[in-house]
Structure 1
Amino acid sequence: MSLSFPNVYTHRKVAEGSAKGCDVCYKPTTSVLITPENKDFFYVCASHLKERTFCTPIVDKAAEEAKKKKAEDEKEAKMKEEVERVKKEYEEKQKKKKEKKDGEKEDKDKDKDKDKDESKDKSKDKEKKDDKDKDDQEKKDKDGETPAASDEPRVFALQKFLYQQRLDKKRQAEIAKRNRERIANPSFFPSVPKGLP
């Protein structure tokens, strides 16, 4: 059985009930680093993953470029939606201005009332725009928070000495297992002599 495995560990989370002590600081943690094909795993605090003396993140350039492209596409779509919304608002305002001009010719008294109503509408429009701006800002803040969590690297390479320790630990466990199997086998020990000395 081959004991070597690549120095590529994927960060995974386990259920709270399955939390065990961190291999570094012994505090209970739900974060696990695991190798491909599950040859090695160990529990480690998420804070240790940020330490350069413990491990370094492995960046998948293709995945990162795909994320950037997706983010740019989303920005483009939002911009197009915003432009369409502004165009519609502008067209509505132009229609209102035309109606206002037609109404001025008919009755000057109505014009005064319309000016009052329009000033009220403008103040309402400003309030709506302020509310929309606040909502947009809140959405941007929320959007900014979620990618931060997902942008954390998930694949790591341990430092050389730590990786060597993991290999040595696996090797020792394999040797101990082989020794237990040998001891359990009765043919391992010599047989008792049957003849007289």
Structure 2
Amino acid sequence: MSFPNEYAHRKVAEAKAKACDICFKLSSSVLITPDNKDWFYVCPAHLKDTGFCTPKIDQAAIEARKKRELEQEIERVKKEYEEKQNKKKEKEAKGDKKDEAADKNDQADKSGSDNSQKTQDKTKDETVTSTTEDDEEPRVFELKSTFYQQRLNRKRQAEIAKRNRERMQDPTYFPSVPKNIP
């Protein structure tokens, strides 16, 4: 009958939003157990309340994300280094001072375009980090003991009521009328 005290945060469509179980405001956020035995609507503000629930942090996922970010940073630095090396080789290949002066002008133009590319890359990086910040929001929560007990009691009462309804529909539940005259 009992279920684990581990709830996953899910979003539903705005059209399917229902009242929060805590404050009765309209909410499209749902907390659901992994085995789908229990679920309820809750406001996102309650998820941040430490008196209601605590987020369960998956250390393996955090380490994997940090490793992935580190690898991306290493790749970016390698590309920048290779570009600088290629520019140096091109500069040495020219050899002439006149060509070098023309190259400096070209490089100044290129560096201006490189700077604009770098700013575009930075804005792309900022958008990537903003989307990853949304992903960083915890998805698995553990309810505090009082709220978890409340959920267990509500589930238990619903099952008892269902069992009583089934018993009431059974014709042998009530005593029969006596057939013999006393």
Normalised TM-score (structure 2): 0.91
Superposed CA RMSD: 1.8
Give the secondary structure class of the aligned counterpart of 1:188: coil
Could you say which residue in structure 2 is the equivalent of 1:81? Answer: 79
Relative to its length, the structure with more helix (as a share) is 1
Give 1:54's match in structure 2, choosing from 52, 55, 75.
Answer: 52
Amino acid corresponding to residue 137 of structure 1 in structure 2: K
Could you say which residue in structure 2 is the equivalent of 1:148? Answer: 133
Could you say which residue in structure 2 is the equivalent of 1:196? Answer: 181
Give 2:117's match in structure 1, choosing from 129, 132, 149.
Answer: 132
Amino acid corresponding to residue 85 of structure 1 in structure 2: E
Given that 2:91 and 2:103 are in contact with CA atoms closer than 8 Å, whether structure 1 keeps it comes out as no
Amino acid corresponding to residue 15 of structure 2 in structure 1: G
Could you say which residue in structure 2 is the equivalent of 1:161? Answer: 146
Amino acid corresponding to residue 46 of structure 1 in structure 2: P
Could you say which residue in structure 1 is the equivalent of 2:169? Answer: 184
Q: CA deviation at 1:11?
A: 0.9
Cα 1:120/1:86, change in 2 over 3 Å: closer
Q: CA deviation at 1:72?
A: 1.3
Amino acid corresponding to residue 45 of structure 1 in structure 2: C
Cα 1:63/1:119, change in 2 over 3 Å: closer
Give the secondary structure class of the aligned counterpart of 1:152: coil
Give the secondary structure class of the aligned counterpart of 1:56: strand
Q: Gaps spanning 5+ residues in structure 1: where? A: 105-110
Q: Gaps spanning 5+ residues in structure 2: where? A: none
Cα 1:123/1:80, change in 2 over 3 Å: closer
What per-residue deviation string (whole Å, max 9, x for no partner) do you get for residues 129-171 of structure 1? Answer: 2202211220221121011011111111001100000000001
What per-residue deviation string (whole Å, max 9, x for no partner) do you get for residues 9-59 of structure 1? Answer: 011122232221111222222211111211100111222111111110111
Moved over 6 A (4+): none
Could you say which residue in structure 1 is the equivalent of 2:19? Answer: 21
Amino acid corresponding to residue 78 of structure 1 in structure 2: R
Amino acid corresponding to residue 61 of structure 1 in structure 2: Q
Give the secondary structure class of the aligned counterpart of 2:9: strand
Could you say which residue in structure 2 is the equivalent of 1:108? Answer: none
Given that 2:13 and 2:28 are in contact with CA atoms closer than 8 Å, whether structure 1 keeps it comes out as yes
In the comparison of the two structures, how many residue pairs are matched?
Answer: 182
Give 1:66's match in structure 2, choosing from 64, 67, 78.
Answer: 64
Larger radius of gyration: 1
Give 2:29's match in structure 1, choosing from 7, 31, 55.
Answer: 31
Q: CA deviation at 1:90?
A: 2.3
Cα 1:146/1:55, change in 2 over 3 Å: same
Give the secondary structure class of the aligned counterpart of 1:36: coil
Q: Does 1:11 align with 2:9?
A: yes
